[in-house]
Structure 1
Amino acid sequence: MNPVADLQRPSAPAPTPGDAAAASGADRRGPFRPERLIPARTRLHGRLLARLFQLGDAMVVAAATAAVGLRLHAGPGGAAALLASALAILAALGIFKAYEFGRREGLARHLVRIAIACAVGQAVGYLAIALSVPPDVLAAAIGAWAPGVFATLLILHTAWWAAVRRWRASGRLVPNIVIVGATGAAERLIESLLASREVNVLGVFDDRHARAPGAIRGVPVLGDTQALLDHRIMPYVDRIVITVPSRARARVRELIERLRVLPNEISLLLDGAAAQDEADAISRVADVPLAHISGPPMNHARAFVKRVQDIVFGVLALIVAAPVMLIIAIAIRLDSPGPVLFRQRRHGFNNEEIVVWKFRSMRVAEQDLHARRQVSAEDDRVTRVGRFIRRTSLDELPQLLNVLKGEMSLVGPRPHAIGMMTGDVESARLVAEYAHRHQMKPGMTGWAAIHGSRGPVDTPDAVRRRVALDVEYIERQSFWLDLYIMAMTLPCLLGDSQAVR
């Protein structure tokens, strides 16, 4: 499956969180910009969806086959024949590209593919059953099996076609990129993507900004690489593509070093490469990295499993924790005036700004929204109830809501407040790889937490250790490692009475 964009662009732009600070006109939005930018963490991935659609078809066909076989007591020969028909339908769905959902393909044409696949399966069934069972069983089996399978597949694929169309229109099925380098390769890449609509190009950045054109094929040139590092559009960007002259090796190295601090995946498309090599690279830009140089390639299957894990365990945890959360809420209201919950803007996946919820543990007048002063032992800002819920990490329980919303995960690097300070220096400036911890959704617990890196990071060494542990987790992340971390969290909390919280 290779879904491509079919976006509706407004005639007059409405401001979005990703708009450049100094550019708000329609000419600065460009031909690819959707009406509303979708954070990278919510992006859907065509290949994974295709596999899920195939799984749905297989489950439906298998259920229908089993039901008919049992009801008619088809016996070994009839069961084998029905199984052959089912496999033939599933194979035909793949052969006739029933999972591509082409951008220009209407619903009627798509359903024709389904009808052909079902006809092929039915023909195979007739042949197989005719060779193995009496004709009366043949008519009964196919007559009961084929119409039900056909009707169900038509309904399923109508729903999927409508969903894919809606996801395209919203931009959730279309990756966003920015290009570094206003070069000929950049122009050819944009031309190709304008024709296919497989990728959105949100902007171009070039260090020679003073000499660069205002736009390339309508895509705005938004500034130099420093502007890219600080640009508010980056949480919506899936990949940065560097397109610089192949002979400018020193410039390539410099750009790579400057951009490594970002959590976004970075790929390289050299301007001046052989024409066929460049054409091949451009054709692959929607599917795989060109020349991968930074950032972890996205493992969509693993991300899907992690999301399912978060939903299942998150719902169970919320049910179990609900009585405790109610008691804590009452205790906070009785202990000190002010709201029960405290919310703070923190860094999420891909440097996205998210609002994280916690139980309030400080007096309202002393709350520090930007973590300019981190919590210390015997901190006079913390309430009596606050000391207990911070020491036991019960103040973090409302973040289960962040997990279910998809902004956080149960396991991952802890989200730090935006602008958090370590002494007199912003924590993010102490470690060059600090943003690499944002290559995954932040978590309620994590590898760093069970290794003693909990609470404030009030020294440069503490920041470096936290980042090193977070990056180690990102490189090793798996379902089983997450289960181990969740299992170890409670023992670590109970045995870590010395941690400042």
Structure 2
Amino acid sequence: MTQPLLGIDKCNERTTSRLSVVSNPPRLVIALLAGALDSLLLLFTFVLANEIIKTTTIRADDWRMLVAFTGMFLAASFYAKNYSVSALISGYASVVRLLNAWLAALALVLLLFFTIKDSATLSRGLFFTTATIGPIVLSIGRVGFVRFIRNVLHISLLRQLLIIDDQPVAEPEGWTVIPAADYELRPDAHNPLILHNFSGMVAPFDRVVVSCRAERRRAWALYLQAVACNGELIMPELDGIITRKPTSIAPWPTLQASIGPLDLPGRISKRIFDLAITAPLIVALSPVLLILAIAVRIDSPGPILFRQQRMGRHNRLFNVYKFRSMYHEKTDYSGSLSSSRSDDRVTRVGRVIRATSLDELPQLFNVIQGDMSLVGPRPHALGSRAGDSLFWEIDLRYWLRHAIKPGITGLAQVRGYRGATVLREDLSNRLGADLEYLDGWSMIRDLQILLRTVKVVIHKNAF
């Protein structure tokens, strides 16, 4: 197997050493502090509201309202991205998202107490006074917090990378700058190992901007989209055409080339969904897993599990697990030779577990590890071919399907696109379904695909 280029490895090492300057601020700690400050300000608001309406004592029911309100507000703030980097570096963005979370929390608290038929015990004066002055207190506190972090502590939470590829530009202060020529960094859509290394290099950054000549923009755009980063291309010809704020954090006009399909709340929701189903499923299927492991072991000599490097999220390689279904000495680790219905490499037990998709069960542990999801584009081996061509040689959009974690099942599989890729159209059909899934992702769709998977576990193309 081809090894990563020396220049890319050097780029990763040197970037990591320079990254320490950018990544010193503990952003998770800052976000937690912002949440703690909001909680304290809510308590202050509650006490202040009580003083305004001249209530002598705060009842137990009122304290319950405060606890519920705080919980609802923090949850709504998370989904409103009130603790994201973009909010914590801008007082204006913080206030807008804070107000959205506040309105959502008000509605949720009223719905909660109405549902449990406890609203009659609430102090309406205390509730509406808190609801009125709360946004003011929280907004003042958040703006002060943002300015304290930025102007007093001089902490820069935004990590930004500038890649200069034969097109010098003014280098803004506070950015990590990578001259592409010095690190032999060139976008090569036909080398998955270079793409794997590039993905790891840009992973720590919130924003990646590339300055390159016009003829290289298409290649860089594909690379940025393939790793699903917040990527932009510098477009000097747009200077004076597009409107930019005078306080822009970059001194040049850019064009957005890529952005990941799932935001943080979406990724967390999908992860919780995966773990909530996978962990109990592993426990329930443990007898089946044990029986299959024994059967594979008895049927032919060799390891029980088959491990193979495949492309995962952001085009980074990982080891996928399957029950071994081929004779150990005939195993194709590159994946360049698809199995056929009369393949003599497949063992007796292998034919059964491949036909019933039971060989895929160890991938539940890939889900637990975080390398895979229950639903997503199926991961492929680097040597996989459709006809005589590698997958990415047929359509360079193939790299875009790795914007999210690969799945045990996916939209392509439930539509019947599985098995050997004999023709180029076999890959095109799967790729079309994978890209459609990325464009229309939702938790409801994941659940629908899981339910439909039950119908295609046994499939005519599974051999």
TM-score (norm 1): 0.63
Alignment CA distance shift 1:184-1:428 (3 Å):
closer
Cα distance, 1:81 vs structure 2: 2.2
* Contact 1:192–1:282, Cα closer than 8 Å, also in 2: no
**Whole-Å separation in 1 of the counterparts to 2:220 and 2:367:** 32
Q: Which amino acid aligns with 2:173?
A: S
Residue 108 of structure 2 corresponds to residue 95 of structure 1: no
Secondary structure, aligned partner of 1:387: helix
- Aligned partner of 1:193 in structure 2 is 174
From 448, 451, 458, the equivalent of 1:487 is 451
Alignment CA distance shift 1:57-1:313 (3 Å):
farther
Alignment CA distance shift 1:271-1:71 (3 Å):
closer
* Contact 1:184–1:271, Cα closer than 8 Å, also in 2: no
**Whole-Å separation in 2 of the counterparts to 1:417 and 1:406:** 18
- Post-superposition, which runs of at least 4 consecutive aligned residues in structure 1 deviate over 6 A? 44-48, 60-66, 70-75, 103-106
Alignment CA distance shift 1:443-1:75 (3 Å):
closer
- Aligned partner of 1:309 in structure 2 is 273
**Whole-Å separation in 1 of the counterparts to 2:269 and 2:59:** 28
Q: How well do the aligned residues superpose, as a CA RMSD in angstroms?
A: 4.6
Alignment CA distance shift 1:34-1:298 (3 Å):
farther
From 10, 15, 18, the equivalent of 1:32 is 18
From 226, 238, 251, the equivalent of 1:263 is 226
Cα distance, 1:388 vs structure 2: 1.4
**Whole-Å separation in 2 of the counterparts to 1:63 and 1:334:** 68
- Aligned partner of 1:416 in structure 2 is 380
TM-score (norm 2): 0.68
**Whole-Å separation in 2 of the counterparts to 1:394 and 1:387:** 10
Identity of aligned residues (%): 29
Cα distance, 1:456 vs structure 2: 2.6
**Whole-Å separation in 2 of the counterparts to 1:74 and 1:462:** 59
The 5-angstrom pairing of residues 42-441 of structure 1 reads 53=35, 57=39, 67=60, 69=62, 76=121, 78=123, 80-81=125-126, 84-85=129-130, 92-97=137-142, 100=146, 102=149, 175=159, 177=161, 179-185=163-169, 187-188=170-171, 191-194=172-175, 200-201=176-177, 203-205=178-180, 209=181, 214=182, 221-226=183-188, 230-236=194-200, 237-238=202-203, 240-244=208-212, 251-252=213-214, 254-256=216-218, 259-260=221-222, 263-264=226-227, 265=229, 266-271=231-236, 273-274=239-240, 277=244, 280-283=247-250, 290-294=254-258, 296=260, 298-441=262-405
Secondary structure, aligned partner of 1:291: strand
Cα distance, 1:224 vs structure 2: 3.8
* Contact 2:217–2:233, Cα closer than 8 Å, also in 1: no
CA offsets, 1:279-322, max 9 Å, x none?
A: 6553599xxx9522345555333222212211212223222222
Aligned length, in residue pairs: 382
> 5+ unaligned residues in a row in structure 2: which ranges?
48-57, 66-117
* Contact 1:421–1:427, Cα closer than 8 Å, also in 2: yes
- Aligned partner of 1:23 in structure 2 is 10
Cα distance, 1:410 vs structure 2: 0.8
Cα distance, 1:18 vs structure 2: 10
Q: Which amino acid aligns with 1:95?
A: I
* Contact 2:320–2:366, Cα closer than 8 Å, also in 1: yes
Secondary structure, aligned partner of 1:20: helix
**Whole-Å separation in 1 of the counterparts to 2:301 and 2:38:** 52
> 5+ unaligned residues in a row in structure 1: which ranges?
1-16, 38-43, 110-164, 195-199, 215-220, 245-250
Cα distance, 1:223 vs structure 2: 3.6
* Contact 1:242–1:270, Cα closer than 8 Å, also in 2: no
Alignment CA distance shift 1:486-1:227 (3 Å):
closer
**Whole-Å separation in 2 of the counterparts to 1:429 and 1:32:** 35
**Whole-Å separation in 1 of the counterparts to 2:150 and 2:290:** 49
Alignment CA distance shift 1:226-1:69 (3 Å):
closer
**Whole-Å separation in 2 of the counterparts to 1:356 and 1:384:** 22
Q: Which amino acid aligns with 1:20?
A: G
